[in-house]
Amino acid sequence: MFASSLASRAVAAKRFKGSSSLFQGARSYFLSFGKERNQEMLVDDINPFIRFPVVTPEQMRKISNDKFKFDFAYTSFAFHSSSSVPQIHSLSDLTDPTSLNSLLPKRRPQGSPADTLSIKAGDDTMLVSPTVLAVADGVSGWEDKSDADAGIWSRSMLETFSRLMTEYKISHSPHHLNKRDISEILDDSFLHTSHLMDLQRLEGSSTLILGMLSGDLLQMVSIGDSKLYIIRDGEIIKTNEEQMVTDLCPQQIGTHTLTQLPSEVAWVESIELKENDLIVVCSDGISDNLYEWEIVDYLDQFLNGKKDSLKRAVNKLLLKAKEVSFDDYACTPYNQKVNSMSGKHGKQNSVGGKLDDMSLCIARVVLNKRGKLN
């Protein structure tokens, strides 16, 4: 398995020929990688192409060209876990790449975003900050394999992607990230994460949804069926397209998709934001149990009717989704999807909520007084 994954990785690395300098180290590393798995390596050997910016938080604010920032609140529910309590980490605490299993903070690189949090709940990982919102939903189908951990894949993928996007944004300010930039960073993060999984002899995969501020735009990336909604004046004005492999199996990236780069399947778009837009980012544990119109109506009730804070609103919305998921007679978007397959797979009669990990973040778009565009 390892030999075949190396061969696949070499094929993937060759596709970067002629691309930007961001990939020079990654490409040469994967093409030349021929060491035995159990050989002792230095951190620089393991991770020669990830270079974090030496920039303080104050410097980051000064060079920011973002017109907006996020006021946000988040919550989660771990169904695929022995503990319902989520693990919350600051990205100023970076896991040692040789010890992914432990997920313990062991080093603090200067300039890492201390205000970025990584929240792991079951196989879900959610990442939240004033400029980035993301969810990677670890695919639970791996749970029967002893050498698999979709939760580790999802956390490593999200944190690496966030760091590389932040690095690129800093080094190219005031340049706005474009689709090509994002696709390259996505592929680089994928190669890095799949290599770390190899070092740990682990398998896993996840979907991905991410939104990142760039100037007055929200840059969006989606693979699979996690959701991002932009709500303006009580209406959803933009959401991502779902990518499905089969009717009930979402597109995913992981250790079994090494022959295909994520950029080849990702939905990548941008939208111009306005002050007071609401952004909802969630795993399908939310969107499979609540209809879009329900999410909009509940947020209107909580935020406008009852004048709840974002924190109270996000907790109430999670509670609504959990109530439905435990209701054996509920009608849900997931039921509707299953029952619509009647013509293909015989008559379906699906009822009841869908129990799953749930990750949910609600953000309000507010002016960034330190941004250069103001």
In what helix (H) or strand (E) does residue 308 lie, and over which residues does it extend? none
Asked if the structure places residue 168 within a domain, the reply is: yes
> pLDDT by residue (tens digit) across 189-214?
999 888 888 888 889 999 999 998 88
Domain tally, the chain: 1
Asked if the structure places residue 105 within a domain, the reply is: yes
* Average confidence (pLDDT) over 312-323: 97
Query: What's the rounded Cα separation, in Å, for the pair 30 and 14?
Result: 9
User: For residues 52 and 163, is the Cβ–Cβ distance under 8 A?
Assistant: yes
Tell me the CATH number at 195: 3.60.40
Asked if the structure places residue 231 within a domain, the reply is: yes
Residue reference for tokens 């909520």? 353
User: For residues 75 and 52, is the Cβ–Cβ distance under 8 A?
Assistant: no
Q: Highest-confidence range of 95-99, 166-170, 194-198, 355-359, by mean pLDDT?
A: 355-359
Asked if the structure places residue 161 within a domain, the reply is: yes
| Closest-CA residue to 333 (of 282, 266, 265) | 282
Asked if the structure places residue 186 within a domain, the reply is: yes
Please count the helices (runs of H) and the strands (runs of E) in the chain.
Answer: 11, 16
Q: Kind of pairing, strands 358-367 and 68-77?
A: antiparallel
Q: What secondary structure letter does DSSP report for 203?
A: B
| Closest-CA residue to 76 (of 126, 140, 138) | 126
- What three-state secondary structure class fits 50? coil
Q: Which of 173-182, 217-226, 279-288, 342-351 is predicted least confidently?
A: 342-351
Q: Which of 103-107, 148-152, 349-353 is predicted least confidently?
A: 103-107
Q: What percent of the chain has pLDDT over 90?
A: 43
Asked if the structure places residue 238 within a domain, the reply is: yes
Asked if the structure places residue 317 within a domain, the reply is: no
* Average confidence (pLDDT) over 11-20: 41
| Closest-CA residue to 247 (of 337, 332, 346) | 337
- What three-state secondary structure class fits 140? helix
Asked if the structure places residue 8 within a domain, the reply is: no
pLDDT band at 23 (very low <50, low <70, confident <90, very high): very low
In what helix (H) or strand (E) does residue 150 lie, and over which residues does it extend? helix 150-172
Structural domain of 72: 57-274
Q: What secondary structure letter does DSSP report for 300?
A: I
What are the distances in angstroms from CA 286 to CA 61, 70, 83, 215, 357?
Answer: 33, 21, 19, 29, 9
Q: Quote the pTM value.
A: 0.79
Q: What's the confidence (pLDDT) of residue 287?
A: 97
